[in-house]
Amino acid sequence: MTPIDGKADTILSGGPIWCGLAQGTAEVLALRGGKVLAAGRQSDVEMLAGPGTRRIDLRGRLAIPAFHDAHMHLMTLGRRAKSLDISPGAVSSVADIVQLVGARAQSLAPGTWITGSGYDHDRMVGKRHPTRWDLDKVSPDHPVWLGRCCGHMGVANSAALKLAGISRDTPNPPGGVIVRENGEPTGLLQERAQEAMHEAMPAPTVEELVEAIELAGRRCLSYGIGSVMDACVGMIGGWSDVAAYEAAERAGRLPVRMTMAMGGGPAGIAEEAFAKGYLTGKGSGMLRVGPVKFFTDGSAGGCTAAMSKPYTNGERGVLIFSDRELDEMVGHYHRRGFQVAVHAIGDAAIDQTIRSFDKACADGSCSHRRHRIEHCGFIDERQMGEMQRLGLIPAPQPVFVRDFGDTYLNVVGEQRSAGCYPMARWQRRGLRPAMSSDTPVSDVNPFVNLYAALSRTTLGGEVLGAEERLTLTEALSAYTENGAYACGVDDRLGTLEPGKVADIAVLNGDPFQAGVADLRDVEADLTLLAGRVVFDRQGEVR
Ligand SMILES: [Zn+2]
């Protein structure tokens, strides 16, 4: 209820309230009608309290604008919850995986698919992938598909290979490898060879996708995340992905604010989006259309990101499109009025992407369109200047330094690894890096990501480029207002200042007072969307 006397309906006080990079810290935050009414000192804001005002006592805890995860995969995160967890935390050997698959097979009718994801053979005993023969022992009658953590390969059992039409006579598809032993497929399918498996699996229903959205969205709220961008809508079920987000919103089952990046490229839904009038910026406060997204290269850890200098294996990675093809795609969607987000990780792919944006925006219209480079990991100083000139936004994942930094050291060496994901240079140059998780590639937990941005420490304990460490203030800015800027909603979200929407996270302590290492233990206690409590860990707000 909004009081009619001009008073606040909610007041937060009793702890620091970090409102934004330019706004700094306030003592009291007053809300009214879902928006920020005032932020400031006790003496200035307290007068807004009336008899009907709800009080939230911060008890020394830090309040911030709710996190804005500007590049992640919400539906995939939700669907993961239904598939087997075979990540390094859950299994340590092929035998463990076989046991989990066997147990699942016991509980499902024959013919039902069993999926799992997240295994990393490098971090298992024997350092080998499971084979179809390992899996067949416990699942002769269930098709099984297990994805590796990188998403670039996975293992099928014999029943799944049969459904996908893969036998010893099947040639490798373009851009993919069917790994074999004495001519017989082992079950391991790499890159585009995985597509046959995705086609063989039954498409999820819209209801199943809505369930995934709701589940993953609630998980986001539990971390203080209020807004996200799904970085490739259409990737799972084509237009059904959009239908599912819309159905979720209608049914009140979309827990977080969603910006949809429409998958572009040959298999994407961007053309359909355009034909149906789904242009960048259309939609509601909860669900809106963002950029068109496409890929120009792979991943650095998998040595498929396109680099100007070779990896230690002598390769330079893969550019997916020719210059002409990319120019055409970027120009096409730019002219149609879309924001454009291009996945580019290696410096050669980043260079190609910048050139395409430069051509598309020869009329000077780039900066207000907020075109983005997703990940943008291995960039040089000159390219950074070009991005600044064109108003291009990097959408990086500092948490990759933690998760994949040890691999980077192996595949590109120390010097190039030290300069990867240069958060400090971006932030200090004003490029507004939109810090994000790319979950489920990395952990959706923003505090793990913040820790990575402040420490630049790998899982193996190596520090990559200490000069690229952010301060906590810079990292919070990158994870809140920069995300809102990159998603084009900074007029309403991202900071806590009068008139903006009251999306707020209250943490379980004050990280400004604690050490960097303690960031990993931070949790969100409360999450508010438009002033409404949508997550309350301790049940503290009536
Ligand atoms: Zn992604």
pLDDT at 11 over 90: yes
Q: Could you give the residue ranges of the DSSP H alpha helices within 430-513?
A: 446-455, 472-479, 481-486
What average pLDDT score do residues 121-129 get?
A: 90
Cα separation, 225 vs 218, whole angstroms: 9
Q: Are 120 and 152 in contact (CB under 8 A)?
A: no
Cα separation, 278 vs 104, whole angstroms: 41
Among 248-257, 446-455, 511-520, name the one with the lowest average pLDDT.
511-520
Each residue of 451-502: pLDDT tens digit? 999 999 999 999 999 999 999 999 999 999 999 999 999 999 999 999 999 9
φ and ψ at residue 126, rounded to 5 degrees: 85, -10
> What is the average pLDDT score of the chain?
95
pLDDT at 40 over 90: yes
The single residue listed with the structure tokens 């309040």 is: 63
Q: How far is the CA of 174 from the centre of ligand 1 (A)?
A: 23
pLDDT at 1 over 60: no
Torsion, CA 455, CA 457, CA 462, CA 468, rounded to 10: -60
Number of neighbouring beta carbons within 10 Å of residue 51: 7
SS (H, E, C) 209-274: HHHHHHHHHHHHHCCCEEEEEEEEECCCCCHHHHHHHHHHHHCCCCCCEEEEEEECCCCCCHHHHH
Q: How far is the CA of 404 from the centre of ligand 1 (A)?
A: 15
Q: How far is the CA of 442 from the centre of ligand 1 (A)?
A: 10
Question: Ramachandran region of residue 523, left (φ > 0), alpha (ψ -120 to 50) or beta?
Answer: beta
Number of neighbouring beta carbons within 10 Å of residue 339: 25
3-state secondary structure of 283: strand
Q: Which residues of 286-296 are buried (b: 16+ CB within 10 A; e: fewer)?
A: bbbbbbbbbbb
Each residue of 375-389: pLDDT tens digit? 999 999 999 999 999
Q: How far is the CA of 131 from the centre of ligand 1 (A)?
A: 27
Instruction: Name the strand (E) or helix (H) holding 154.
Output: strand 153-156
Inter-CA distances, 445 with 221, 230, 311, 450, 523, Å: 10, 16, 31, 9, 9
- What is the percent of the chain with per-residue pLDDT over 90, rounded to a whole number? 86
- The predicted structure's pLDDT at residue 5: 67
Sequence-distant (6+) residues with CB within 8 A of 20 are 65, 477, 480, 481, 494, 495, 496, 497
* pLDDT tier, 522 (very low <50, low <70, confident <90, very high otherwise): very high
Q: How far is the CA of 220 from the centre of ligand 1 (A)?
A: 16
Q: How far is the CA of 103 from the centre of ligand 1 (A)?
A: 31
Q: How far is the CA of 462 from the centre of ligand 1 (A)?
A: 25
β partners of residue 185: 180
Of 446, 475, 444, 469, the C-alpha closest to 456 is: 469
Q: How far is the CA of 439 from the centre of ligand 1 (A)?
A: 7
- The predicted structure's pLDDT at residue 258: 98
Each residue of 322-345: pLDDT tens digit? 999 999 999 999 999 999 999 999
Q: How far is the CA of 203 from the centre of ligand 1 (A)?
A: 21
Cα separation, 454 vs 437, whole angstroms: 15
Number of neighbouring beta carbons within 10 Å of residue 244: 26
Q: Are 482 and 426 in contact (CB under 8 A)?
A: no
Cα separation, 254 vs 75, whole angstroms: 11
Q: How far is the CA of 229 from the centre of ligand 1 (A)?
A: 10
Each residue of 242-298: pLDDT tens digit? 999 999 999 999 999 999 999 998 789 999 999 999 999 999 999 999 999 999 998
Q: How far is the CA of 71 from the centre of ligand 1 (A)?
A: 6
Q: Are 454 and 475 in contact (CB under 8 A)?
A: yes
What average pLDDT score do residues 9-37 get?
A: 97
Each residue of 163-177: pLDDT tens digit? 999 999 999 998 889
What average pLDDT score do residues 505-514 get?
A: 96
Number of neighbouring beta carbons within 10 Å of residue 465: 21
Q: How far is the CA of 14 from the centre of ligand 1 (A)?
A: 38
- The predicted structure's pLDDT at residue 301: 85
Q: Are 113 and 202 in contact (CB under 8 A)?
A: yes
Element counts in the chain: helices (H) and strands (E): 18, 21
Cis peptide before 398 (omega within 30 of 0): no
Of 352, 386, 390, the C-alpha closest to 370 is: 390
Q: How far is the CA of 10 from the centre of ligand 1 (A)?
A: 37
β partners of residue 30: 11, 38
Q: How far is the CA of 397 from the centre of ligand 1 (A)?
A: 10
Amino acid at 11: I
Residues whose Cβ atom is located within 5 A of ion ligand 1 = 231, 438
Q: How far is the CA of 233 from the centre of ligand 1 (A)?
A: 11
Q: How far is the CA of 440 from the centre of ligand 1 (A)?
A: 8
Q: How far is the CA of 72 from the centre of ligand 1 (A)?
A: 6
Residue 429, judged by CB atoms within 10 A of its CB (0-12, 13-18, 19+), counts as: middle
| CA terminus-to-terminus distance, the chain | 14
Cα separation, 71 vs 54, whole angstroms: 34
* pLDDT tier, 2 (very low <50, low <70, confident <90, very high otherwise): low
pTM beyond 0.95: no
Q: How far is the CA of 118 from the centre of ligand 1 (A)?
A: 15
Of 474, 480, 383, 469, the C-alpha closest to 434 is: 480
pLDDT at 6 over 90: no
Torsion, CA 86, CA 88, CA 92, CA 94, rounded to 10: 40
Each residue of 388-436: pLDDT tens digit? 999 999 999 999 999 999 999 999 999 999 999 999 999 999 999 999 9
- The predicted structure's pLDDT at residue 4: 55
Q: How far is the CA of 368 from the centre of ligand 1 (A)?
A: 24
Could you tell me the two tokens for 168? 């010893």
Q: How far is the CA of 261 from the centre of ligand 1 (A)?
A: 10
